[in-house]
C-alpha cells in the first residue's frame, strides 16, 4: 500500500457519499439494454485518446508505473491503447467479464516501486487503480456529450452506476468509489485540480503528441509514420480543446482559434454522419463480437 493518501475524500460529506461495499461483492454482468453497451465500444471514444493519456500519465503513481514497468519511452501510446480494450471486456464479455477483470487485475500485481517524488506506489492500490478506471469512464461521457448528444442527469447517473458494476468485478472493493455521479464529478475535478502534475511520463507524452514525427511507433514503419504523423493535428486539436482547464494550465496548452474551429467542425460532422454508418462500422471488435453473440 502506498504510504501517502493519493485519493482522499475532500470533506466529511464526501466520505459519506462513498460506496461501502466489500471486495467480495459480486456484480452481475451488463447486458445489451445497458448504456455501457451502447457507448463503451463506440469507435468515437478514440477521438479524445490524447486526453485520456494526459489524465492517466499526469497522476504520479501511474506515470511511474508505465515508466518502470513498460517500454513507455519506445511506445508512448501503448498504455492508453491497451487500457480501452480491457475496459471494453468488462462491459461486453458477459458471464466471462469477471474473468476478464481478474486477468487485467492480476497483470498489474507486480507493478510497484517508487515514483519521481520518492513516494512508494502500487498499481493495485484501489486509489490508484480506480483513477485509471475513472479516466476512461469520464472520457466516455465527455465523448458522448461532444460527438453524440448532451447526456442528461438521469442518463449520466445510470451510466455511472453501470460502470461501478464493472469496477466491482476487479474485486478491489468500492471504498474509494463515489456513490453517485455528482460525487464522482467532484472527485474527478478535485483530482485534476490537486493531484495531477507534469510528471516525467506526461512530459514525454506531451512531446510526442505535439511533435508526432519525432517518434515512430514500433508497429508503424518509419516511412509510413512520417507520412501519417501530420494527421495527428486533428486528435491533438480535439484533445486540447476538451482538456480540463486545470490540466491545460499545467501543460501549457491553450487552444488556438484554429483548434477550436477544428473541434466544432469535427463535432458537427460526426454528430450528423455517425448515425448513417452501419452498426458494424461504428463499434470496436469486442462490441461486435458481443452483438453477434446475441444475434445467435
The larger pLDDT score, comparing residue 129 to residue 8, is at 129
Q: Over 70: is that where the pLDDT of 14 sits?
A: no
> For residues 2 and 130, is the Cβ–Cβ distance under 8 A?
no
DSSP structure string for the chain: --SS-SS--SSHHHHHTB----TT--PPPP-TTSHHHHHTTBGGGGGGHHHHHHHHHTSHHHHHHHHHHS-TTT-TTHHHHHHHHHHHHHHHSGGGHHHHHHHHHHHTTT-EEE-TTS-EEETTSHHHHHHHHHHHHHHHHHHHHHHT----HHHHHHHHHHHHHHHHTT-S-STTSBSSHHHHHHHHHHHHHHT----HHHHHHHHHHHSGGGS--TTS-HHHHHHHGGGGHHHHHHHHHHS-HHHHHHHT----HHHHHHHHHHHHHHHHHGGGS-HHHHB-HHHHHHHHHHT-
pLDDT at 143: 97
Mean pLDDT, rounded, for 146-169:
96
Q: Is the pTM of this model over 0.95?
A: no
157, 266, 203: which is closest to 53 by C-alpha? 203
Percent above pLDDT 70 for the chain: 78
- Residue 218, all three cell numbers: 514500433
Q: What is the pLDDT of residues 54-77, one digit of tens each?
A: 999 999 999 999 888 876 666 666
The larger pLDDT score, comparing residue 136 to residue 16, is at 136
Q: Where are the domains of the chain?
A: 12-217+229-294
Amino acid at each position: 500500500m502506498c504510504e501517502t493518501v493519493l485519493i482522499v475524500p475532500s470533506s466529511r460529506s464526501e466520505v459519506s457519499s462513498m460506496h461501502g461495499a466489500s471486495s467480495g461483492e459480486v456484480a452481475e454482468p451488463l447486458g445489451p439494454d445497458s448504456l455501457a453497451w451502447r457507448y463503451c465500444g463506440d469507435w468515437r471514444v478514440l477521438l479524445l485518446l490524447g486526453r485520456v493519456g494526459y489524465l492517466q500519465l499526469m497522476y504520479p503513481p501511474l506515470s511511474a508505473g508505465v515508466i518502470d514497468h513498460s517500454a513507455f519511452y519506445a511506445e508512448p501510446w501503448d498504455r492508453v491503447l491497451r487500457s480501452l480494450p480491457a475496459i471494453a471486456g468488462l462491459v461486453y464479455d458477459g458471464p466471462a467479464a469477471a474473468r476478464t477483470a481478474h486477468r487485467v487485475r492480476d497483470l498489474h500485481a507486480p507493478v510497484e516501486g517508487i515514483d519521481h517524488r520518492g513516494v512508494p506506489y502500487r498499481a493495485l492500490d484501489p486509489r490508484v487503480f480506480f483513477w485509471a478506471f475513472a479516466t476512461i469512464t469520464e472520457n466516455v461521457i465527455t465523448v458522448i456529450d461532444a460527438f453524440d448528444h448532451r447526456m442528461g442527469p438521469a442518463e449520466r447517473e445510470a451510466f455511472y452506476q453501470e460502470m461501478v458494476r464493472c469496477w466491482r468485478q476487479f474485486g478491489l472493493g468500492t471504498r474509494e468509489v463515489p456513490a453517485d455521479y455528482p460525487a464522482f464529478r467532484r472527485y474527478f475535478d478535485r483530482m485534476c485540480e490537486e493531484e495531477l502534475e507534469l510528471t516525467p511520463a506526461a512530459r514525454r507524452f506531451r512531446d510526442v503528441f505535439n511533435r508526432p514525427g519525432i517518434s515512430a511507433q514500433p508497429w508503424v514503419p518509419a516511412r509510413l509514420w512520417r507520412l501519417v504523423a501530420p494527421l495527428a493535428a486533428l486528435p491533438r486539436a480535439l484533445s486540447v480543446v476538451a482538456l480540463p482547464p486545470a490540466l491545460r494550465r499545467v501543460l501549457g496548452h491553450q487552444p488556438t482559434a484554429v483548434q477550436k474551429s477544428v473541434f466544432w467542425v469535427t463535432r458537427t460532422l460526426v454528430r450528423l454522419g455517425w448515425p448513417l454508418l452501419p452498426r458494424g462500422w461504428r463499434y470496436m471488435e469486442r462490441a461486435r463480437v458481443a452483438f453477434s453473440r446475441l444475434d445467435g
